Amino acid sequence: MPMFFKPAELQSREVKPFEGFPFGLSEGSLSGIIATDELAETAFLYHLVANALKDGPVYHIGPGTAFSVKLLKRLTEDVSNLYAGNVYSVDELLTALGIVEDGSLVVVSLFPTLLNRSAEGIVEIRRVVDKKGLILVLSHTTIELNELDLPGEFRRFYELPEVFEVLAVLRTSSYRGHYRLNMTVLKAPPEYLSAVGDHSVSIDSMIKPLL
């Protein structure tokens, strides 16, 4: 049943992987992230989780993907709010999302490898995000990316990119021991419209503990 509601005036929870990242992720948001290398994925994922753990539970879900608590403890000592689980289909993901705590951060790794992906499934995921006020990040790491057709790549991986608040591609580059996180943001929340475009951020201090 469709519903109308008055937008809340209170500031909702927002998380960023690190200071200087071009946008934040708020409650009730759905993000699609593509990383083109493992270092970009690790830097984004572990710093995002470490920052979010300060304010509530964080869930990492994926099809058999391991999340290293040992690596996470290099960024934060208290990992008691971290929960991890495996899902292998969109139906299993929807069941998992139904039992996570409202308003929490949920990261799904390797989302395009889940079985039974469809536009209808994405709409159901969107429905749960709205109902529970989740901060949901669907991520994927691939070395096969058509950089000349990024909108087409997001449609290939995420079926219905129109219902996402955030669409971004992450890459790392290094030169003489210095690292940068390079980003192409195709879609950002309304309050971060200036983030749409290309960015390059120094991440030396963030990469050091991970290496």
Query: For 30-78, how does the pLDDT look when each residue is reduced to its tens digit (9 = 90+)?
Result: 999 999 999 999 999 999 999 999 988 999 998 976 788 999 999 999 9
Q: What is the dihedral of CA 64, 208, 139, 150, to 10 degrees?
A: -140
Annotation: CATH topology of 25-165: Rossmann fold (3.40.50)
pLDDT tens digits, 182-194:
999 999 999 999 9
- Residue 86 CA: distances (Å) to CA of 25, 64, 94, 104: 23, 6, 12, 17
Distance CA 179, CA 17 (A): 16
Q: Which residue ranges make up each domain of the chain?
A: 25-165
Residues 6+ apart with CB under 8 A from 78: 53
134-174 tens-digit pLDDT: 999 999 999 899 999 999 999 999 999 999 999 999 999 99
Band the pLDDT of 8: cuts 50, 70, 90. low
